[in-house]
Amino acid sequence: MTKQEFEKLTEQGVVLMDGATGSNLRKAGMPVGVCTEQWVLEHPETIVELQRAYVEAGSRIIYAPTFSANRISLAMHGLQDKLAELNTELTGLTRKTVAEAGADKPVYVAGDVTTTGKMLEPRGDVTYHELYEVYCEQIRVLCDAGVDLIGAETLMSVEEAQVILDAAQSVCDLPVLCTLTLEADGNALFGGNAVELVETLQEMGASAVGLNCSVGPDQLEAVVASMKAVARIPVIAKPNAGMPVMDEQGMAHYSMGPEEFAASMMRLVDAGAQIIGGCCGTDPEYIRELRRLLSAR
């Protein structure tokens, strides 16, 4: 997918992304503490069923389950030498699922990258160059595996997003979508804020920017409006299904059902969000309800 093709897609109206992956894998039986990417390959039917349901619900962008398949995160499980294998096979699994879902409109596969959990100097002990090389490695494999675009999500700082965008643009010409986890006041967890995010990354060449995870959509209208006020590229909103409550088994239960979530998301669309989906606590029913309300407009 070229950047120009992505621009044409967003010019046609609000674009629906997928919903959560991790929280749905937990519901399906994935244990805490395992390498998600390896578990998915050992239980491929779980992700195939979930992603097929997202396509059927109306998602136009599906994230391959390569979220933490970078060298630093994989090393915590002793799997750093399987980086190429994991990213390639997981991307292929998603591409095959999307192709066989039979959607009436094109559905695009995003190579998913995220924070390594390591903070850049001077807050942490990782240099720009070290982090840059880590992201170049993963993104290069994702591109070779045939993703249509790069989705960098759940990032903790604007600086981290800059490193990923630099890395992506050094190895490919694909559209890059960047979303940070932002507080309800618009601040990132480890540096920067919503307005700085938009102004910085659009100048660097990002195709879309915004937020994901964070809190529920009912707390984000002002944040989305502040991003839209300075944005020349599409604004992304992919929040959680409200706030979680943990049960005795350690499972998170989120406060917003599909109808309440979708109604709040429409207010984010009114505030300027042009690419929308769901993060933790959402599932295909949430995307289906979003599609229904968008169609009703």
For every residue of 5-61, DSSP letters joined together read HHHHHHHTSPEEB---SHHHHHHTTPPTTS-HHHHHHHSHHHHHHHHHHHHHHT-SE
- Count of domains observed in the chain: 1
Q: What is the structure's pLDDT at 77?
A: 97
- The model's pTM is 0.96
Q: What is the structure's pLDDT at 119?
A: 87
- Which residues span the domain enclosing 72? 3-296
Q: What is the structure's pLDDT at 58?
A: 97
Q: What is the structure's pLDDT at 251?
A: 77
Q: What is the structure's pLDDT at 140?
A: 98
Q: Which helix (H) or strand (E) holds 156?
A: none
Tell me how far apart the alpha carbons of residues 63 and 110 are, in angstroms, rounded to a whole number. Answer: 5
Walking along the chain (297 residues) 10 residues at a time, the average pLDDT comes out as 97 97 95 96 98 98 98 98 98 98 94 94 92 98 98 96 97 98 90 93 98 95 98 98 81 90 98 98 98 95
CATH code where residue 241 lies = 3.20.20.330
Residues 6 or more apart whose Cβ sits within 8 Å of residue 85: none
